[in-house]
């Protein structure tokens, strides 16, 4: 990873927005992004105790995706229609994968959810990653394909390769790189993991111009 380039991104972003995400010039953008409300909803509706009711869990999973401004409307509508088509057994299976991802064996849950959603052509990085991120905004990352590819390319991270199909191995390795980046930049840029990758996205765009 090219740390020199990372520091250049930090310098350029803070030159444009001296107070980071609290900068007045950034307020119009931040008004659309209220991760705290999303976190409160996800934590309350996808807590362990609720998993005795698969219908409730599956509905809450969809609503968490629906409430996120980071997932496309097209994918939200496809996910809604898919969930509406599920029978009770399929909802049970889906709720098990969601439980493992959020509260159990994360790797098994991640891979199980990819396999389940893959049957409906919905195994997309945005859908897979948005709910774990919503539950733990300081630990988990929202993976947006174009942003991810730009970060890997610009910071010269060559030992992992982005692929459209989500994989736990990539997610884990990429998260470690992002964790390392966070400790090397100003605290004003990493109050939230989606905001942190947003800073990288914006700064890369600025530096490329």
Q: State the pLDDT at residue 32.
A: 60
Q: State the pLDDT at residue 80.
A: 97
Q: Is the pLDDT of residue 47 over 70?
A: yes
Q: State the pLDDT at residue 134.
A: 95
Between the CA of residue 200 and those of 89, 148, 163, 190, what are the distances in Å? 42, 10, 20, 10
Burial 195-204 (b: 16+ CB within 10 A, else e): bbbbbbbbbb
C-alpha to C-alpha distance for 41 and 43, rounded to whole angstroms = 6
Q: State the pLDDT at residue 73.
A: 95
Which residue has 């380039």 as its token pair?
Answer: 5
C-alpha to C-alpha distance for 134 and 125, rounded to whole angstroms = 14
Of 2, 3, 13, 5, residue with least CA distance to 189: 13
pTM for this prediction = 0.90
DSSP H helical ranges for 17-156: 27-30, 35-45, 54-67, 73-85, 88-103, 106-118, 125-135, 145-154
Per-residue pLDDT of 15-26, as tens digits, reads: 888 877 766 565
Residues 109 and 100 sit within 8 Å (Cβ to Cβ) = yes
Average pLDDT estimate for 51-68: 96
What 3-state class would DSSP assign to 88? Answer: helix
CA dihedral 96, 99, 100, 106 (to 10 degrees): 150
Q: Read off the pLDDT band of 187 (50, 70, 90).
A: confident
How many other CB atoms are there within 10 angstroms of residue 134's CB atom? 26
**Residues whose CB is less than 8 angstroms from the CB of residue 163 and which lie 6 or more positions away in sequence, other chains included:** 170
Q: State phi, psi for 208 to the nearest 5 degrees.
A: -80, -25
The helix (run of H) or strand (run of E) holding residue 61 is helix 54-67
**Residues whose CB is less than 8 angstroms from the CB of residue 207 and which lie 6 or more positions away in sequence, other chains included:** 8, 9, 12, 154
């Amino acid at each position: 990873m090219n740390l020199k380039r990372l520091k250049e991104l930090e310098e350029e972003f803070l030159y444009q927005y001296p107070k980071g995400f609290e900068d007045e010039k950034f307020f119009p953008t931040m008004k659309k992004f209220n991760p705290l409300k999303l976190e409160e909803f996800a934590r309350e509706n996808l807590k362990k105790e609720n998993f005795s009711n698969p219908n409730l869990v599956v509905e809450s999973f969809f609503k968490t995706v629906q409430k996120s401004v980071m997932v496309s409307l097209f994918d939200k509508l496809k996910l809604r229609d898919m969930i509406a088509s599920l029978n009770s057994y399929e909802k049970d299976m889906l709720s098990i994968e969601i439980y493992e991802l959020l509260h159990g064996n994360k790797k098994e849950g991640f891979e199980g959810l990819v396999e389940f959603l893959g049957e409906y052509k919905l195994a997309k990085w945005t859908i897979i990653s948005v709910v774990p991120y919503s539950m733990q905004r300081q630990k988990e990352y929202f993976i947006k394909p174009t942003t991810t590819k730009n970060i890997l390319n610009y910071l010269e991270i060559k030992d992992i390769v982005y692929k459209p199909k989500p994989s736990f191995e990539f997610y884990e390795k990429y998260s470690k790189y992002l964790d390392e980046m966070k400790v090397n930049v100003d605290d004003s840029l990493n109050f939230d993991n989606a905001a942190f990758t947003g800073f990288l996205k914006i700064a890369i765009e600025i530096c490329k111009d």
